[in-house]
Amino acid sequence: MDAISVIRAKRDKNELTDAQIDWVIDAYTRGEVADEQMSALAMAILLNGMNLREISRWTEAMIRSGERMDFSSLPLPTTDKHSTGGVGDKITLPLAPLVAACGAAVPQLSGRGLGHTGGTLDKLESIPGWRALLSNEEMLAVLRDTGAVICAAGDGLAPADKKLYALRDVTGTVEAIPLIASSIMSKKIAEGTGALVLDVKVGTGAFMKNLADAQELARTMVGLGKAAGVNTVALLTDMSTPLGLTAGNALEVRESVEVLAGGGPADVVELTVALAREMLAAAGVHGKDPADALKDGSAMDHWRRMIAAQGGDPDAELPVARERQVVTADASGVLTSLDAYAVGVAAWRLGAGRARKEDPVQAGAGVEIHAKPGDKVTAGQPLLTLHTDTPERFEYALEALAGGWAVAEEGTPFTPTPIILDRIG
């Protein structure tokens, strides 16, 4: 079998056979299929799709490329969450310690930024000393000690996906539903968690721009999870506007700590609590309510222990960008929209994300948001603050923000979009 035949088959809108899928995943993992060949196949999948049999087999092949983890020795049931990626989506940071404070263990394998969306590991690495790379033994030890761990998938866990994940980011194939579903579910199934809650983003700042595509992705992933014996549910949540008031790395860590301290933006708190309740229910844990754990400080205690267990200093000063530029409102009235995609691309161009898989990110770069849709604004007041270490990036960030918000006359009716749009599973 050869890569060109597999590429041509999907290019010509044919189904890939089980044998073709098994071979190409194994050969890519071993380096026999080159990055440029897998890039061509990924683009063909983006354009021509896969049916459920192909997606299921692709997922199984990626799981078989590595090891499976086992958390059966833990005294608590395990539950995990995965977001399909958004702008300002720092939810994992307060969520993992919050669920741990309520009585479940959270083995949270996270990733790095994809395109205009932020990466949980990039955010946490802005904390001095914090380590994303843990051995399986270290991961299990942190789970036993603190109830929650957020770390990178090890080299042995779905290594085929690790290679393909980075490749998709730089080849314009992130949005392919079969590749999103198989990427997420191969890691989560191999991870060995007992329950899984999916946060499928919908809107301009998400990879799924409309509800129908998001529902298709959610149904595909829920089906893959349940077929593998993982109790899986999905929430479809709005990503037309950035979550919270920050998009970046250290900026989002600060906001997450505010949430754990009992404050923070209302939308971040609402979604964090809703996902925590779903995770606990899926794991069969019925006790302390997550909203109470934010108020009584127990979630913050678990955060501090989790960060310290991974080498981080929860009291350390977070990095701050050297340069700032304020963007002001160009009219007075009611802010009716703030485009998540525009803000995400601006943060990316400021240095919070990467254009190539080997690029570094700036810990302090990003966008600070001073008004959200529904707020009254006055011409000239600060709307956004841009943060970067490299001021030559401001021009390109401002280009991304052009037309990224709208202000209507005061008194114009405004109906906010609910955060949670649908539930599947």
* Residues carrying an active site annotation: 82, 161, 168, 183, 187
* H or E element that contains 29: helix 18-30
State the alpha helices, DSSP H only, in 159-231: 159-169, 177-191, 211-227
Q: Quote the DSSP letter at residue 416.
A: P
Six token digits for residue 407: 């202000």
Residue listed under structure tokens 């997420």: 184
Assess contact for 10 and 16: CB atoms under 8 A. yes
* H or E element that contains 408: strand 405-408
Spatial CA neighbour of 264 closest among 283, 291, 280, 244: 244
Residue listed under structure tokens 């399986």: 136
Residue 4 CB neighbours (<10 A)? 11
Q: Is 412 helix (H, G, I), strand (E, B) or coil?
A: coil
Q: Give Cα 99 to chain centroid, integer Å.
A: 17
Burial pattern 43-60, b for ≥16 Cβ within 10 A else e, equals bbbbebebeeebbbbbbb
Dist. CA 144–CA 76, nearest whole Å: 9
Query: CA dihedral in degrees (103, 104, 107, 113; nearest 10)?
Result: -80
Q: Determine the Cα angle at 310 with ends 307 and 313, to 5°.
A: 50
Spatial CA neighbour of 96 closest among 316, 244, 288, 290: 290
**195-202 and 79-83 beta bridge pairing:** parallel
Dist. CA 45–CA 23, nearest whole Å: 16
Spatial CA neighbour of 201 closest among 260, 115, 320: 115
